Structure 1
């Protein structure tokens, strides 16, 4: 079993709550990332400000969720509405962190997938906004995620519950999914971009570290979800066959399915067809 730092249901619930609170804070920072990174701006300075009137936010205007409610969803200076996206990003990140902690326990695995979840939220919204997956977010993740999962692999191997095979499997999965998307980008350049290819390698590593089942389910779910969404847009006339529909968000949504339910779904598939 993967060692946990906390034992007992009560401790696990407390850790999950704390992870959720941390997620709210990280979500507030992600709002800055989503707005500034596509514009080539620093995410460190200047301080957060209203994008419409430039009013610099005080600390109490930056408290996740609470400030949005206290301000009645309006800027204190110009009184224009604050986009609902901001509290939704904070809430989504908090929920995701809590789910990851509950699923994996207090481990490096949870830290790796919480980080990947935060990256996923930022990338999905940036891709929807500007149809681009910034290298400044994707490429550093090629270091962070393998380091964290590598640390967990070493801990598990030292505990005698596994060997180093998960890392080798992750490398094989990363190369395989990267190659698949690379070929797809060449064959169908209008449907895949190099940003999708780079993201595929990262997701392939993380999913394959968990197992072949999560990789297969995660990759398949991306095309299933993306296909259904595109079909709905076509049927409702909100898009045409020539419309550029970002695929990055569906790659990330599919990966989440693979992480959370990939093993169970793959096991069920094997039981039915074997």
Structure 2
């Protein structure tokens, strides 16, 4: 009886490996695309000519080694297996390839497999797999650059509302709508209060949008457990990095990855489980 679900989950996992390979491209290239866009807009506002550069988006140019420029061949880009076959090094210059690449692929594959195992081969499984992929990309982009691109956060909000309207997320549309509103407004109010008291900005607007997306997917009732998990894990990691002198310039830790961690915990374990873990 378990053969079919296992095969379905396995196939979903293989597909997730491929999606994870693409996520690595998104995580690396999207911030650079945004920086190029902002530079072009600034030049235009100042009446300066926009410098022409090579086409750079999620499709072009082909993936290449950052050290020697070697174009990655198709058989060098098979998720996980190519990394193992190449022993984690560029085939041209032997520059080490970051371990995070196969880890992202593996994690994405496992999440896709879990979604199909949990929800079956259904639109709900596809919706939650999409949620996982977007949330993972946002967490790593924010960790690397402190950016939470609107190109991912805003579609994730809309996707949560659409999934609720179609009955794929387990929420009714009003629950998802109020979840999105509560998620955005709660952090916006915290931001405004902190700025009023200290004159400083405690977080970015991307955090509001990400929390709104989590509200759209889980409902307003899940926001308290998610923010508690995010705050506790963020504080623990921040303190550990400070003690290890690992804080980046400016002495800050991006909050988005911890919001994402709270979202993953709510999906895999349930928001009630988070409250039990923190003793509430």
TM-score, length of structure 1 as denominator length:
0.83
Q: Which residue of 1 aligns with 2:190?
A: 184
Match of 2:252 among 244, 249, 261: 244
Is the counterpart of residue 28 in structure 1 residue 34 in structure 2?
no
SS at match of 1:253: helix
CA RMSD after TM alignment: 2.5
CA contact (8 A) 1:12 1:105 kept: yes
Q: 2:30 matched to 1:37? A: yes
Residues 1:89 and 2:97 are matched in the alignment: no
Please tell me whether residue 256 in structure 1 is matched to residue 268 in structure 2: no
SS at match of 2:214: helix
User: How many pairs does the alignment contain?
Assistant: 252
> Do the aligned partners of residues 230 and 58 (structure 1) sit closer, same or farther apart at CA in structure 2, a change above 3 Å counting?
same
* Aligned match for 2:93, one of 74, 78, 94: 78
Q: CA deviation at 1:147?
A: 2.4
Higher deviation after alignment, 171-180 or 234-243: 234-243
Aligned residue number for residue 172 of structure 2 = 166
**Aligned with 2:236 (options 228, 236, 257):** 228
Are 1:104 and 2:97 an aligned pair? no
CA gap 1:268/1:125 in 2 versus in 1, 3 angstroms:
closer
Task: Quote the Cα distance in structure 2 between the aligned partners of 1:191 and 1:76.
Answer: 44
3-state SS of 2:270 partner: helix
Contact 2:149 2:206 in 1 (8 A): yes
Q: Give ranges in structure 1 of 5+ residues lacking alignment.
A: 1-7, 157-164
The residue that corresponds to 1:53 in the other structure is 68
Measured in 2, the distance between the counterparts of 1:256 and 1:177 equals 16
Gaps of 5+ in 2: 34-55, 195-199
User: Structure 1 residue 20: deviation in Å?
Assistant: 0.9
8 A contact 2:265–2:271 mirrored in 1: no
TM-score of the two chains, using structure 2 as the length reference: 0.82
What residue number does 2:40 align with?
A: none
**1:138-157 pair list within 5 angstroms:** 138-152=153-167
Alpha-carbon distance between aligned partners in 2 of 1:35 and 1:241, rounded to the nearest angstrom: 20
- Contact kept, 8 Å, 2:127 with 2:168, in 1: the verdict is no
* Larger displacement relative to structure 2 (232-241 or 40-49): 232-241
- Is residue 119 from structure 1 mapped to residue 125 from structure 2 by the alignment? no
Distance 1:222 1:102 in 2: 27
Distance 1:227 1:102 in 2: 33
The answer to whether the 8 A contact 2:30-2:58 is kept is yes
Map 1:124-139 onto structure 2 (within 5 A).
Answer: 124-139=139-154
**Are residues 216 and 11 of structure 1, via their aligned partners in 2, closer, same or farther at CA, if it must alter by over 3 Å?**
farther
